Amino acid sequence: MKYINVAINLPVKNLFKQFTYAVPPQLDHVDVGWRVVVPFGYQTVEGFVTSLAAAAPAEYECKEILATLDTRPWFDAEMLATANWLSEYYLCSPAEAMRLFIPGKTSIKRQAVYNDEGKLIAYDYENKLKIKTRICFVVTKAGREALVAYNKRLRAQMHALEVLAEAERPLSGEELASVQVSAATLRILCEKGWSERSEQRVLRNSYANRTELKESLHLTDEQRQAVEAIGSAITEPHQETFLLQGITGSGKTEVYLRAAAQAMEAGKQVLLLVPEIALTAQIVKRFQAWFGDEVAVAHSKLSQNERADVWYKMRTNSAKLLIGVRSAVFAPFSDLGLIIIDEEHESSYKQDERPNYHARTVALKRAQLSGIPVVLGSATPDLESFYKARQGTYTHLRLLQRANGSMLPHVEIADMRLELQRGNKSVLSAALNDALLQTAVQGEQAIVLLNRRGFSTFVMCRDCGESIVCPHCAVALVYHSAGEAMRCHYCGNTAPIPDECPNCHSRRIRFFGTGTQKAEAEIAELPEIRILRMDQDSTVKKFAHEDILKSFSSGEYNVLLGTQMVAKGHDIPNVTLVGILSADSTLNLPDFRASERTFALLTQAAGRAGRGDRAGHVVLQTYDPDNPVIKLAATQDYDAFAASELEIRQELGYPPYTEILKITVLDKEEVRGSSLAQRIVNFLQTLQLEHPEQELLVLGPFPAIVAKVRDLYRMNILVKCPQMELVKRALWNSEFKECRNVFFDVDPVSVV
């Protein structure tokens, strides 16, 4: 009997343990990397075979596995190694890491098998993912011979054989009917043995028929050099990471296309990661125009079945290029040759729930294991990537010129303090007001960016100054005019607007802040303005995003107002003005990345202006015009910003000069939570004393900025260390690893 160790795929955090099962003789082919169905306690669950066990364990009698889920192992050696590394790096269980590679949460389905008398005799376990198939026809050897012999009297049959012989793939009845081959003829062909039926898997593709014409621009010198550099790592495959730093409009996509084409010509597959698929419809279209059906797309709005189809295409090499969001980094490839990460600085590459992986980190690991190049593209690289490029760890490729020779926009700073002094209480400065009017008169378009943070409307009592907070979370409720209710942005609870203050019973309650709706109303009042709003509420549908951008670029509207998403990834030539309502609303968050994020957002937004033949104009409204980040964003000088910000990071001990780990303890009892947090801190301080050479720093515990969410108190601990391995290993071997209410966020995006 063969014995295997299995990681159980249950959505629990603290199941680090593996379990040994026996393999019955009929399933003897099962090996490491297979997905199996196993009895586990009172249930039947999916498991991953992680290793072979030498012998039957002595202490207990182990159960037998019930079935396999696939006809081949799901994990190859590289995927297993990546999963293994991931669980150690991100401090999660092996099963949690391996689950990321599966399209969907679990894939098993139990089917009851009955005998003739209707009695239950067994259960059949199968893959719950439905494989859509259809009957197709192929020509047989005998059929080809019959075609050569050609019998003139069998006109329809000869025609059918011709069609089948010419097609390089099996054809469906439907396809054959469209070229005048009837079902009757096909039946005869099959009876004669000239043709055979074969069942073909049908792959669902919601992006079919959305292609546009291939356009090929000629490359600038900079672009050509970048393509050549990347090409050399493809033709002589080795791991090399390129930071492609190109200003907005410098044509990074053109470089991606050529690099992808080179890899595909060499017979390799390509993975292109994008921050959010909805914002990148343009990039998908351009790649489809070049590569047609070779392109597969994966994002969170695909159904589990669609996703499984995409995975299947990549694994069987029937698609060569995968464009996808964060989770696509876990796709199975048959022969991956290049990974491209667009807008690599975007925080959406970091998963904000456990395991809190970063797609870029995972991609680099997979590339290292496969020995293939990675291209990181951005106008405003993550400071960590920029630092590595400057150190020479990454190859630095720069695009300093706009591809079509257009000018960078002119940025004007509007001091909102002066506006207030002058009695302007509108959300629009005089400068932005005038610029909007002028844009409308000239028949041009404008984008207005509103950072939701700092703009949401909260409800406050005028007498006692208390704002109305969520009863379950430590945050203010936000007023939504739709439905006349207040909603908590953390737990989603809604509450009606009270008549009187719950604190002092005053009836003098009023609304503060400026929401999207208020800004929209104010701008809409201007003459000649036809405004369109884009935010989370207006983009729930699969292609709603694209539709909004389409109707905006058609000229139906001349102002597009929205949150961060209006700032990214689209190119509308008639946009000459970009207004930023509050440049500093993200700047003052208590987070070490606030400056970096603000700079990137302002640069991206400004880059939307003047991408056609007309010069762009940006109005940047701020209450803090002397802030160095705002000033540098106005000149769009990334290098100067990076230099000053890196200095600050070094001084304060933040990445890229140190690694950080955030540990969060959740408990509905505040005291119990803080005492557990304190125990973790004590544990780390002991480690600190034992290893003074590690330069380990432990901060906290302190309550999170949002100290309570859904009635759970949150305590944070921050660990800083230039090399985190030792700390991670210590935690891995500690009791805290399996605590249900302790969460590790390795390389957190935010420390609050």
Find the binding residues for DNA in span 721-750 (CB under 7 A): none
Q: Which is nearer to DNA, 55 or 148 (CB)?
A: 55
Q: Which is nearer to DNA, 44 or 438 (CB)?
A: 44
Q: Shortest approach of DNA to residue 28 CB, angstroms?
A: 17
Q: Shortest approach of DNA to residue 732 CB, angstroms?
A: 18
Q: Which of 155, 158, 142 is closest to 195 using CA atoms?
A: 142
Label residue 165 exposed, middle or buried (CB < 10 Å: 0-12, 13-18, 19+): middle
Alpha-carbon span 136 to 149, nearest angstrom:
25
Q: Which is nearer to DNA, 57 or 267 (CB)?
A: 57
Degrees (nearest 5) of the Cα angle 506, 507, 510? Answer: 110
Q: Tell me the Cα Rg of the chain.
A: 30
Amino acid found at 328: A
Q: Which is nearer to DNA, 654 or 743 (CB)?
A: 743
Q: Shortest approach of DNA to residue 354 CB, angstroms?
A: 11
Q: Shortest approach of DNA to residue 742 CB, angstroms?
A: 13
Degrees (nearest 5) of the Cα angle 366, 368, 371? Answer: 105
Contact between 448 and 560 (Cβ < 8 Å): yes
Q: Which is nearer to DNA, 57 or 371 (CB)?
A: 57
For DNA, which stretch binds (CB under 7 A), given 13-21, 144-152, 365-373, 630-638?
13-21
For DNA, which stretch binds (CB under 7 A), given 16-24, 355-363, 466-474, 480-488?
16-24
Degrees (nearest 5) of the Cα angle 507, 509, 513? Answer: 175
Tell me if 92 is assigned to a ligand binding site. Answer: no
Coil, strand or helix at 497: coil
For DNA, which stretch binds (CB under 7 A), given 5-13, 185-193, 202-210, 599-607?
5-13
Q: Shortest approach of DNA to residue 677 CB, angstroms?
A: 16
For DNA, which stretch binds (CB under 7 A), given 9-17, 291-299, 348-356, 727-735?
9-17
Q: Which is nearer to DNA, 15 or 281 (CB)?
A: 15
Q: Which of 269, 260, 265, 407 is closest to 342 using CA atoms?
A: 260
Tell me if 739 is assigned to a ligand binding site. Answer: no
> How many CB atoms sit inside 10 A of residue 345's CB?
24
Q: Shortest approach of DNA to residue 6 CB, angstroms?
A: 8
Q: Which is nearer to DNA, 28 or 228 (CB)?
A: 28
Q: Which is nearer to DNA, 58 or 184 (CB)?
A: 58
Among 15, 92, 181, 709, binds DNA (CB under 7 A): 15
- Cα dist from 136 to 133, 139, 188, 196, 613, whole Å: 9, 10, 15, 8, 52
For DNA, which stretch binds (CB under 7 A), given 14-22, 25-33, 304-312, 422-430?
14-22
Kindly write out the interface string for residues 613-642 of this chain, putting x where it contacts DNA by CB under 7 A and - elsewhere. ------------------------------
Q: Shortest approach of DNA to residue 739 CB, angstroms?
A: 10
Q: Which is nearer to DNA, 60 or 540 (CB)?
A: 60
Find the binding residues for DNA in span 51-110 (CB under 7 A): 57, 60, 62-63
Amino acid found at 31: D
For DNA, which stretch binds (CB under 7 A), given 11-19, 27-35, 92-100, 127-135?
11-19
Q: How many residues bind DNA (CB under 7 A)?
A: 19
Q: Shortest approach of DNA to residue 3 CB, angstroms?
A: 9
Q: What are phi and psi of 63, to 5 degrees?
A: -85, 165
Q: Which is nearer to DNA, 65 or 302 (CB)?
A: 65
Beta bridge partners of 88: none
Tell me if 501 is assigned to a ligand binding site. Answer: yes
Longest C-alpha distance within the chain, in Å?
Answer: 99
Look at the block and give the residue holding tokens 């033949």.
Answer: 613
For DNA, which stretch binds (CB under 7 A), given 4-12, 297-305, 335-343, 584-592?
4-12
Instruction: Report H helices in 131-280.
Output: 141-149, 155-166, 173-177, 183-192, 221-235, 252-265
Tell me if 464 is assigned to a ligand binding site. Answer: yes
Tell me if 62 is assigned to a ligand binding site. Answer: no
Kindly write out the interface string for residues 17-56 of this chain, putting x where it contacts DNA by CB under 7 A and - elsewhere. x-xxxx----------------xxxxx-------------
Contact between 249 and 401 (Cβ < 8 Å): no
Contact between 665 and 702 (Cβ < 8 Å): no
Q: Shortest approach of DNA to residue 108 CB, angstroms?
A: 12
Alpha-carbon span 544 to 30, nearest angstrom:
45
Beta bridge partners of 127: 108
Query: 645-668 burial by CB neighbour count: b if 16+ within 10 A, else e?
Result: bbeebeeeebbbebbbbbbbbbbe
10 binds DNA (CB under 7 A): yes
Coil, strand or helix at 468: coil
Q: Shortest approach of DNA to residue 489 CB, angstroms?
A: 24
Q: Which is nearer to DNA, 396 or 737 (CB)?
A: 737
- Quote the DSSP letter at residue 373: -
Q: Shortest approach of DNA to residue 352 CB, angstroms?
A: 18
Q: Shortest approach of DNA to residue 127 CB, angstroms?
A: 19
Q: What's CA 431's distance to the chain center, in Å?
A: 37
Q: Which of 440, 418, 439, 442 is closest to 429 using CA atoms?
A: 418
Please, which residues have CB within 8 angstroms of residue 653's CB and are 6 or more apart in sequence? Answer: 697, 720
Tell me if 491 is assigned to a ligand binding site. Answer: yes
Kindly write out the interface string for residues 414-443 of this chain, putting x where it contacts DNA by CB under 7 A and - elsewhere. ------------------------------
Amino acid found at 38: V
Q: Which is nearer to DNA, 671 or 689 (CB)?
A: 671
Q: Which is nearer to DNA, 22 or 485 (CB)?
A: 22
Q: Shortest approach of DNA to residue 128 CB, angstroms?
A: 15
Degrees (nearest 5) of the Cα angle 559, 565, 569? Answer: 95
Kindly write out the interface string for residues 585-614 of this chain, putting x where it contacts DNA by CB under 7 A and - elsewhere. ------------------------------
Tell me if 136 is assigned to a ligand binding site. Answer: no
Label residue 562 exposed, middle or buried (CB < 10 Å: 0-12, 13-18, 19+): buried
Q: What is the dihedral of CA 368, 369, 374, 380, to 10 degrees?
A: -60
Tell me if 504 is assigned to a ligand binding site. Answer: yes
Query: Which residues define the annotated binding site for Zn(2+)?
Result: 461, 464, 470, 473, 488, 491, 501, 504
Query: Which residues define the annotated binding site?
Result: 461, 464, 470, 473, 488, 491, 501, 504
Interface residues with DNA (CB under 7 A) are 10-13, 15, 17, 19-22, 39-43, 57, 60, 62-63
